[in-house]
Amino acid sequence: MSEFTDVEIDAERAAGRDATAEHMIEMNRAAARRATVAAQDERRLRQAAAGRSLSAWFVSAIRSSGETFVKLDDGAPEWLSDAVREAHGDESPDDWCYDRLQSIACRICDGADESWPIADQLTDVYNADLCAWLSGNLYRAEFVDEFMENYGWTTAAGWFAAMRGGQFLQLDAMASVMLGAVVSAHESYVDECEAEELEAHTLPMWLVHGMPAGPL
């Protein structure tokens, strides 16, 4: 004869089911905690990159020939790599472009938010430098042509003035690309923070630090 009544057996089974359900709930909670920690770790890694200013992603390197050049550092955010490619226009990767993009990034980090003052500051003064710029890529002659056709250039102003104006237009286009990329990346960052119910930094903080870091 059984030592337990049917009622007691049913109660034991119910208790077992409750214990199993409670165990599953606790397992789900533990999994959720692990997922949260993993997300926080990922955010911390992102913030480690965010701590670098925009200009700091441009670094100097040395070729086997001993020549020094500027490049994007390893681990640069994808949006910045895309912006650098776009800022080159129809040119292949070019030392002059990278050097000027680094200078543009420095000025953005200093708070510049318009392209033409940046271009004005970076346009070469010396004629020899203008000649070196133009000879570096024949594509740049299109900027000179644009300046001559659309910005009131006359032969009396001289060819170097046309070259200087053409270089200004290229730098203005490059700065516009970089500023646009910064703003777009910041907007994406804000959208991500809103989706995660986090507080996003404001645009001035973004301009100062290049990659804003939201709270954990």
Pair 146, 155: CB distance under 8 Å: no
Ramachandran angles phi, psi of 61, nearest 5°: -140, 165
Q: What type of residue is 156? A: A
The contacts of residue 53 (CB under 8 Å, 6+ apart) are 105, 109, 208, 209, 210
**Tens-level pLDDT at each residue, the chain (216 residues):** 455 565 555 566 656 666 666 767 777 777 777 766 666 655 544 444 444 578 889 999 999 999 999 999 998 888 999 999 999 998 999 999 999 999 999 988 888 889 999 999 999 999 999 999 999 999 999 999 999 999 888 888 899 999 999 999 999 999 999 999 888 877 776 666 666 655 554 443 434 344 433 332
Residue 8: exposure state from Cβ atoms within 10 A (0-12, 13-18, ≥19):
exposed
Number of H helices, E strands in the chain: 8, 2
pTM for this prediction: 0.68
- Residue pair 213/47 in contact (Cβ under 8 Å)? The answer is yes
DSSP secondary structure code for residue 70 in this structure: E
pLDDT at 156: 81
Please say whether the beta carbons of 109 and 208 come within 8 A.
yes
pLDDT of residue 126: 96
Alpha-carbon dihedral angle through residues 56, 77, 211, 89, given to the nearest 10 degrees? 80
Give the pLDDT of residue 55. 86
pLDDT at 49: 44
Residue ranges per domain, the chain? 51-209
* Rounded CA separation 138/213 (Å): 41
CA distance 54 to 210: 4
